[in-house]
Structure 1
Amino acid sequence: MDNINLKFGKKLRQLRTERNMTQEELAEKSGIDYKYLQKLEGQSPSSPTLSTLEKLAVGLDITIIQLLSDIQ
């Protein structure tokens, strides 16, 4: 499970940086805690809930499918 969480964290960071957003900006736009976003992108990430995935997708202006694509 940790491997997929690390892959998700890398994908999340990539999508955020492609949009020139800081972690603070994405956290605010997504309505999630900044520290939790740091953890999702960090070296020991947790598994986000479906609700959190939806919030992140909205914050990044993409679909959940796009957020999760290429993570295997």
Structure 2
Amino acid sequence: MVNSNLNLLMAKKKIRSLSELERRLKSENLYISRQSLHKIYHSTALDNTRLDTVLKLLSFFNCSLEDLFIWSSR
């Protein structure tokens, strides 16, 4: 099972909402739909997440894949 750490990464950057995250991404010319951000934030349908979306988040947060996602054996 894969879960997202997006909430922790947002907290480190003092981003309080998905709307604020979307605005800050756009200000850096990184466009991710609010629906995609919502799915990642709530760890729903992560298997359908596009690679370019993940890469944009990794770039924005300057983090690794292991920082963004948690793998568990459950």
How does the TM-score come out when normalised to structure 2? 0.63
Identity of aligned residues (%): 19
5+ unaligned residues in a row in structure 1: which ranges?
A: none
How far residue 66 of structure 1 moved from its aligned partner, in angstroms, is 3.5
Q: Secondary structure at the match of 1:62?
A: coil
Task: Determine which structure has the larger helix proportion and give its number.
Answer: 1
Aligned residue in 2 for 1:13:
7
CA RMSD of aligned residues (A): 2.2
Greater C-alpha Rg: 2
What stretches of structure 1 move > 6 A for 4+ residues in a row?
Answer: none
Query: What is the number of residues matched between the two proteins?
Result: 64
* Higher RCO structure, 1 or 2 (CA under 8 Å, sep 6+): 2
The equivalent residue for 2:57 is 56
Secondary structure, aligned partner of 2:21: helix
Between structures 1 and 2, the one with greater strand share: 2
Alignment of 1:16-55 (within 5 A): 16-21=10-15, 22-28=17-23, 29=25, 30-42=30-42, 45-47=44-46, 48-55=49-56
